[in-house]
Structure 1
Amino acid sequence: MLTEQNDAQALLVLPRLRVQNANAISSPMTWGFPAITAFTGFMTALERKLGRAAGLSFHGVGVICHGFEPQVANSGYTRSFNLTRNPVLQDGSTAAIVEEGRVHLDVTLVFDVRLDSALIAENERRRLAAEIHAQVAGMRLAGGSVMPPLAGAFQRTPRAQLVTQHPPHLRRLSRRWLPGFALVSRDDLLQTRLAELQTQQPEATVLDAWLDLSRLNYRASPTTSAEADQVTWAIDKREGWLVPIPVGFAALSALHPSGTVAGVRDASVPFQFVECVYSIGQWISPHRIQDIDRLMWRTRFDDTTGLYRCVNAYQPPSTPAAYNPETDLDSYID
């Protein structure tokens, strides 16, 4: 770990990563975009692969999605994953099919990093960014393979950037992240919805609030028509594009010493049974993020409760910002 004396805050941007066959089953109760833990895990794997000799440490990751192509077959309102048949067993019988959800992604990853003083020079930062981009090309992201950009997809091939963090750079970078949507946390809406439900149903729980925000609710309201049975159906309004997301794990058992539990993936490390932790997320346009810290997802672990959780510091604006033609128009001109 770098010392605080020679640390300098910066952003590492890996633009337009094309990921093939990423895991689309993010938890036992959700499917679609990979869990945020897949990206924090990728951050940890990249930091370990670079090693301390690289001179930088990772402290958070932001995710912007540009393309989402689930590998599913549509049949009306029903969707089913495109599955692959496994090879036959030794006795010639057909092996069971294990459901595996896959999705092709086009994402930009933004990392909050600390640079060693030797990397402050621009030429050193460009060299390291190119080296990291080459390392990422051989890694897995959310269980999928990082592929090179399609021929002719871009006029200029996107390149990794390692830039010092200050607002002018953020405004310029956020323009390059368009079109796309950034995933942020909306724990506040979950608590607000819970309070609203409990005014009508005192026995309502956080699960009820989570399910309510995760679906489209149609409600009937009487009309002014002379016929008594006439009603108008409308969908509950939501504050933006809300989605249910898994955000971590909660311990179900004590920490078992390494080698004491059979069938684990790595018997050389301690093992603990866990369950998934859920919350509400929101997809927002990157140009609306004025503070880079509100884009970042960071990991928190509480040893006393056994809770491993990804947290995000996004806060919605209290009031819509007034349009300023001088600054707002400039923000869209490169």
Structure 2
Amino acid sequence: MTRYILLEKVNIENANAFNNITVGIPAITAFMGFGRALERKLNAKGIAIKISGVGLEFHEYELKGYKNKDGQYVTTFPLPGSIPGLNEKKLDAHIMNQAYIDLNMSFILEVEGRHIDKSTCKSIKAAVETLRIAGGIIRSYKDVHLIDTLADIPYGYFLTLRQEALNDAVGEDVLDKMIHALQQDSTLIPLAVGFKALSELGRVEGQRDPEKEHCFVESVFSLGGFECSKSVEDIDAYLWRYKTEEGLYLCTINS
């Protein structure tokens, strides 16, 4: 049995706004990782479900930058040489300005299992309070409940995949194509959607999980965009899912 569960209007504070090459929407792998962590939490409590898809609906966001001398987050990112006081002290330490984003968003979870009811939602509520999303703290949420129709979804904007815009762009590599596409359509959003293997699977000294093989990877990028929830006719067309191939670990939307 497959049901949809809505995590409604989740307030996330200080999520990681870096997605390797841009500052903005956190990596899709971070949101999908939240779904996977939630699934494992529930499985550990004897609740046999699988979260097979995650819809991402945004209501509000506030992009932050770095904390200045007054303790305020600034949404600009100065180069190290332009940071006041750096050159005078002749500091040469590497500086990585942190970028955070506050989000108010809803998650539509596609849940598979034999028994999915209000008790499942109650268990999800308890588990959500112990998790982070993209490194950010979950401050609050409106509700967790089953949904049966599109009318049950609050107004917002779904983050969807625009891979065709990247495929049609001109450029020698993905970065060139991405820049060209963004110049043609300012509504597009750069997204980190997965990883590509750079080495063979194996084990390394000090790895976090000694039971699993590891490999070195690089990020895979694509383009996305926002679509108003009022235009949604099929929720399945807005659910992010995992897709794995040899050497590729991706988050995608079935077209």
- State if a TM-score over 0.5 links the two structures: yes
SS at match of 1:18: strand
* Deviation of 1:263 (Å): 5.4
SS at match of 2:103: strand
Count of aligned residue pairs for this structure pair: 234
The reply on whether 1:145 has 2:137 as its aligned counterpart is yes
Paired AA for residue 69 in structure 1? E
Alignment partner, residue 254 of structure 1: 200
* Deviation of 1:300 (Å): 1.0
SS at match of 1:79: coil
The reply on whether 1:102 has 2:100 as its aligned counterpart is yes
Q: CA deviation digits over 1:80-132, x for unaligned, max 9?
A: 28xxxxxxxxxxxxx9754332111111011111131x44xxxxx12221221
* Deviation of 1:41 (Å): 0.7
Counterpart of 2:143 (choices 153, 159, 164) is 159
Q: Map of 1:80-119 to 2, 5 A cutoff?
A: 80=77, 98-116=96-114, 118-119=115-116
Alignment partner, residue 239 of structure 2: 296
Q: Distance in 1 between matches of 2:199 and 2:28?
A: 23
Q: Distance in 2 between matches of 1:241 and 1:130?
A: 37
* Residue pair 1:185, 1:313 contacting (<8 A) in 2 also: no
Alignment partner, residue 10 of structure 1: 3
**Shift in CA distance, 49/73, structure 1 to aligned 2, threshold 3 Å:** closer
Q: Distance in 1 between matches of 2:210 and 2:94?
A: 26
* Residue pair 1:59, 1:113 contacting (<8 A) in 2 also: yes
Q: Distance in 1 between matches of 2:248 and 2:198?
A: 10
* Deviation of 1:56 (Å): 2.1
Alignment partner, residue 26 of structure 1: 19
Alignment partner, residue 210 of structure 1: 178
* Residue pair 1:251, 1:273 contacting (<8 A) in 2 also: yes
Alignment partner, residue 313 of structure 1: 254
Ranges in structure 2 where 5+ consecutive residues have no aligned partner? 68-74, 79-92
Q: CA deviation digits over 1:196-223, x for unaligned, max 9?
A: x7xxxxxx44432211123xx4xxxxxx
Q: CA deviation digits over 1:215-259, x for unaligned, max 9?
A: xx4xxxxxxxxxxxxxxxxxx5x3x721111110000001112xx
Alignment partner, residue 152 of structure 2: 173
Which fold has the larger relative contact order, with Cα–Cα distance below 8 Å and residues 6 or more apart in sequence? Answer: 2
* Deviation of 1:262 (Å): 3.9
SS at match of 1:43: helix
User: What is the root-mean-square deviation of aligned Cα atoms in Å?
Assistant: 2.5
* Residue pair 1:300, 1:308 contacting (<8 A) in 2 also: yes
SS at match of 1:189: helix
Ranges in structure 1 where 5+ consecutive residues have no aligned partner? 1-7, 82-94, 120-124, 150-157, 198-203, 218-235, 315-334
Q: Map of 1:226-241 to 2, 5 A cutoff?
A: 236=184, 238=185, 241=187
Alignment partner, residue 88 of structure 1: none
Paired AA for residue 128 in structure 1? T
Paired AA for residue 40 in structure 1? M
Alignment partner, residue 128 of structure 1: 120
* Deviation of 1:313 (Å): 2.4
SS at match of 2:188: strand
Alignment partner, residue 167 of structure 2: 191
* Deviation of 1:136 (Å): 0.3
Q: Distance in 1 between matches of 2:24 and 2:208?
A: 25
SS at match of 2:169: helix
Paired AA for residue 110 in structure 2? D
Aligned-pair identity (%): 32
Q: Distance in 2 between matches of 1:72 and 1:102?
A: 6
Q: CA deviation digits over 1:51-93, x for unaligned, max 9?
A: 173242110101011111122269xxx8128xxxxxxxxxxxx
* Residue pair 1:59, 1:298 contacting (<8 A) in 2 also: yes
* Residue pair 1:130, 1:159 contacting (<8 A) in 2 also: no
